[in-house]
Amino acid sequence: MTNEKWKMENDMVHRPTDIVIRKIQENDLPHVAAVHLLAFPDSALSMLGTEAVRRYYEWQLVGPHEVTAISAYINTELVGFCFGGMFRGALSGFVRNNQKNF
């Protein structure tokens, strides 16, 4: 590998990247589920599958909660997310509303 090629590859690796932080919307939830599955492959929720994970975060987002949900995107790829707030019946409400789907 030539020094010139190494420098070019090195510059590409270390080039600053714009990270966009924004509120999570319902159409982001498939991406949220995908990141969850990568981050927590052995969790009980992950073992229920992609659609169950998506529905769980949908319940967090639109259920009877005071939630702030933000995402971090690089270009069009979701690279992180955070759900925070006061969750009322977060797990029990999710199970009750989705038990027919398990």
For residues 21 and 93, give the distance between their C-alpha atoms in angstroms, rounded to a whole number.
29
| pLDDT tens, residue order, the chain (102 aa) | 445 554 445 444 445 578 899 999 999 999 999 999 999 999 999 999 999 999 999 989 988 889 999 999 998 899 999 999 987 776 776 777 776 666
| Cβ–Cβ under 8 Å, residues 58 and 25 | no
Alpha helices in the chain (DSSP H): 3-14, 29-39, 44-47, 50-62, 90-98
Name the amino acid, one letter, at 47: M
Domain boundaries, the chain: 17-101
For residues 21 and 86, give the distance between their C-alpha atoms in angstroms, rounded to a whole number.
21
Q: What is the pLDDT of residue 42?
A: 97
CATH 3.40.630.30 applies to domain 17-101: yes
Q: What is the pLDDT of residue 97?
A: 72
Q: What is the pLDDT of residue 12?
A: 46
How many Å separate Cα 58 from the centre of its chain? Answer: 11
Q: Residue 26: count other Cβ atoms within 10 Å of its Cβ.
A: 11
